[in-house]
Structure formats: C-alpha cells, structure tokens
C-alpha cells in the first residue's frame, strides 16, 4: 500500500473501501474480503446505517490477527444533526461504539449543512439552520477537543468549497488534514487540487466510479457514464485493465486518496489491483480532456423549498 503524509504527520493509505450503500448483510463480508485482499482503509459514516456491521467485521479482522489496529485506517464522519459543539463528542462516541474502536484515524464534518435541533432528517426547508446560526468554526473547536482526548488522530471536512476551507483554515488551531469531495474525470476540480496542494490539505476522491448505485431519486436524467466512456475504455484496453481500475489509478496518480465502494469480491480484488497500473503522461492528458464539471452527488437534497441552502451557497459556485 502507498501512503500520503497528512499535515499532522499521519500516513494515510491512498486507497480504501467505500461503504455508502453497502447493505446490511453484505458489508460484513465486504470488509473482511477487502482486508484479505490487502486493504487497510475503510471509509464509514453513521448516516450509511451500517456502522454496527462494519464494526463487527473490524472486530473480526483485528481479533483474528489479519491486521493490527496500528496498520488499519478508519475514517468516519459527523452527521449534520450533530454540529452543535455539545453534540460532537456524543456523536463520535456512538460511532466508536458501533465500530468497536477506541479511536478513529480520521473524523470528518460530513457536510457544511446544519439541521435544526432534534431533526434526524429534514422533511422540509424549515428543518435546517443556516451555517451562520451554527458556524463551522464552533463545530471545529469541538472536533479539535476530540483530537486532544485521543479519540481521533486527524480531523477534516467533506464537501467543502475553497471558500469554506479558507475560512476554516483562518480560525482552526488544528488545520483540517483532509477534504473529502466528489472527484473523477467529469469533475476534476483543478482549482481545489491546486489550493489544497498549497495549503497542505489532502483530498479524498469520493464517487470515483460515478456512484452508479445511488438511489434513483438522487439521479439526473441522462447522466454520463464514466465506466462506459470511450476514452476510459481505450486507456483500459491499452493497459489490459478495466475502466474501473483506470478511474481508481487516475485518482491516485493525481495525488488524491480514493475510496471506491464495492461489496462484490471480484471487484474488491480488481479495485486494489489497479494500484499496480502505471498511467503515463499521454493517458493523463487524454483523461484530463474529459472534465465537464459534472456532479453525481449534487446536494440538491439539502434544498427543499424554504431551505437556507442553495446550489450557490453550498458549493460557492455561480
């Protein structure tokens, strides 16, 4: 496994297993299988609804000695209902208990979005709070306390724009080590890549394969397919690889961590084997030409009528 060094000195594996949409009854086997195949990094979140089962699998691989805790990297996230500073530690403790762990390697603020107190999942716009009502800087102080307590090794954010990262970097005592965002050839985010390189924030690429198993309500009409794109297919044929492998190795070659999700043993193996592919400059240039600023995970679900969140203020893009 290759590693990227984070700003706090931690060595983060460049590749890990995504677990969003990994169903109960499937994710235990997927985590065990992935460790057998050489994975040492799992990306989790309480909202995925499967942390207790991921935790059973982690217990098993640690108990059986297949991997040592110090060699395993586990990321989880703070959900939007727990941004109030007094809710951060209890949320982390619940995740640690579900995952059967004493500490996380990385704890991320999942979205720059806040639910009103007591709301589990908003049904209407008035069940959100604007970020101004509960600023990220306040949540961040509570995240920093989690590091001081030894419950997490590194902290970071997810779905943050350059503007929001910049604001946070100005007030943070512990700088965010990671921003986990959607990244793939149709959404290359070159400005973000340059900004994060400059500020020593590591990017993690989510939805690297196009997140094809998202629920239909989250899909747009006529979404383009990464896995079926002819340029990706050509590069794959050149390397005797699959399109998925090319998409994964493209992400790592750009210096981003990548966390493809799979519950299928064949694809779990295929995905880690992508790390041995060498993409050359011509491959990278061909893939660079596919950029079209297309998001699969648009965030439109945070924008029911009356919500303080809009496409503009969520992504800070026009």
Ligand X SMILES: NC(=O)c1ccc[n+]([C@@H]2O[C@H](COP(=O)([O-])OP(=O)(O)OC[C@H]3O[C@@H](n4cnc5c(N)ncnc54)[C@H](OP(=O)(O)O)[C@@H]3O)[C@@H](O)[C@H]2O)c1
Strands, sheet with 104-109, edge to edge from the N-terminal-most edge strand: 17-18, 41-43, 73-78, 104-109, 152-158, 178-182, 202-206, 257-258
Closest distance of CB 41 from ligand X, Å: 11
Task: Catalogue the E-assigned strands of the chain.
Answer: 3-5, 11-13, 17-18, 41-43, 73-78, 104-109, 114-115, 128-129, 152-158, 178-182, 202-206, 257-258
What letters, b where the CB count within 10 A reaches 16 and e where it falls short, cover 167-183?
bbeeebebbbbbbbbbb
Check residue 270 and give left, alpha or beta (phi > 0: left; psi -120 to 50: alpha).
Answer: alpha
Decide if 103 is catalytic: no
Cβ neighbours of residue 180 closer than 8 Å, sequence gap 6 or more: 43, 75, 108, 156, 157, 158, 159, 203, 204, 206, 259
CB of 47 to ligand X, least distance (A): 9
CA angle, residues 123, 127, 128, in degrees to nearest 5: 120
Which one, 26 or 126, has the nearer CB to ligand X?
A: 26
Query: Between residues 34 and 180, which has the closer beta carbon with respect to ligand X?
Result: 180
Give min distance, CB of 136 to ligand X, in A. Answer: 15
In whole angstroms, the minimum distance from the beta carbon of 204 to ligand X comes to 8
Name the residue nearer to ligand X (CB basis): 21 or 141.
21
**Catalytic: which of 28, 39, 48, 195?**
48
Among 20, 28, 115, 302, binds ligand X (CB under 6 A): 20
| Binding residues for ligand X restricted to 242-281, rule: CB under 6 A | 242, 244, 259-264, 267, 270-271
Kindly identify the residues of this chain, within the stretch 167-206, that bind ligand X according to CB under 6 A.
180, 206
Q: Is 213 in the site for ligand X (CB under 6 A)?
A: yes
> Which of 200, 297, 304, 316 is the binder for ligand X (CB under 6 A)?
297
Residue 165 near ligand X by CB under 6 A: no
Which among 18-26, 115-123, 124-132, 228-236 is the span making contact with ligand X, rule CB under 6 A?
18-26
Which H or E run includes 28?
Answer: helix 27-36
Do 202 and 4 touch, CB atoms closer than 8 A? yes
Residues 6+ apart with CB under 8 A from 237: none
Q: Measured between alpha carbons, how far is 283 from 238 in angstroms, rounded to an integer?
A: 9
- Which of 43, 51, 53, 105 is close enough to bind ligand X by CB under 6 A? 43
DSSP-assigned beta bridge partners for residue 299: none
Among 13, 18, 55, 185, binds ligand X (CB under 6 A): 18
What is the size of the binding site for ligand X (CB under 6 A)? 30
Q: Tell me which of 210, 251, 257, 307 binds ligand X, using CB under 6 A.
A: 210
Please say which residue, 206 or 309, places its beta carbon nearer to ligand X: 206
Contact 172, 178 (CB under 8 A): no
Residue in the structure block whose two tokens are 């609804």: 49
The interface region with ligand X, picked from 3-11, 19-27, 120-128, 275-283 by CB under 6 A, is 19-27
Least distance (Å) from ligand X to the CB of residue 103? 19
CB 65, min distance to ligand X, A: 26
Interaction of residue 106 with ligand X, rule CB under 6 A: no
Q: Which residues bind ligand X (CB under 6 A)?
A: 18-21, 43, 110, 158-159, 180, 206-213, 227, 242, 244, 259-264, 267, 270-271, 297
> Catalytic residue numbers?
48
């Amino acid at each position: 496994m290759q590693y990227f060094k984070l700003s706090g000195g931690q060595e983060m594996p460049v590749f890990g297993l995504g677990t969003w949409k990994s169903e109960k009854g499937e994710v235990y086997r997927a985590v065990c299988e992935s460790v057998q195949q050489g994975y040492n990094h799992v990306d989790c979140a309480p909202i995925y609804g499967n942390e207790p089962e991921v935790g059973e699998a982690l217990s098993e691989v640690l108990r059986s000695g297949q991997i040592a805790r110090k060699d395993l990297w586990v990321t989880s996230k703070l959900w939007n209902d727990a941004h109030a500073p007094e809710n951060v530690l209890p949320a982390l403790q619940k995740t640690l208990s579900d995952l059967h762990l004493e500490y996380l390697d990385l704890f991320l603020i999942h979205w720059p979005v806040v639910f009103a107190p007591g709301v589990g999942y908003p049904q209407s716009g008035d069940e959100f709070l604007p970020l101004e009502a509960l600023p990220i800087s306040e949540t961040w102080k509570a995240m920093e306390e989690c590091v001081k307590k030894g419950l997490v090794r590194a902290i970071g954010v997810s779905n943050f724009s350059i503007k929001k990262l910049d604001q946070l970097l100005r007030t943070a005592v512990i700088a965010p080590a990671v921003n986990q965002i959607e990244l793939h050839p149709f959404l290359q985010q070159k400005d973000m890549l340059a900004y994060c390189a400059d500020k020593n924030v590591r990017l993690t690429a989510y939805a690297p394969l196009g997140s094809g198993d998202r629920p239909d309500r989250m899909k747009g009409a006529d979404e383009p397919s990464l896995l079926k794109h002819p340029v990706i297919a050509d590069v794959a044929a050149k390397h005797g690889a699959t399109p998925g492998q090319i998409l994964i190795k493209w992400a790592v070659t750009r210096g981003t961590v990548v966390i493809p999700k799979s519950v299928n043993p064949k694809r779990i193996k295929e995905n880690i084997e992508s790390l041995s592919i060498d993409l050359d400059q011509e491959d990278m240039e061909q893939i660079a030409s596919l950029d079209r600023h297309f998001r699969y995970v648009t965030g439109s679900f945070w924008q029911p009528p009356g919500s303080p969140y809009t496409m503009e203020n969520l992504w800070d893009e026009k």
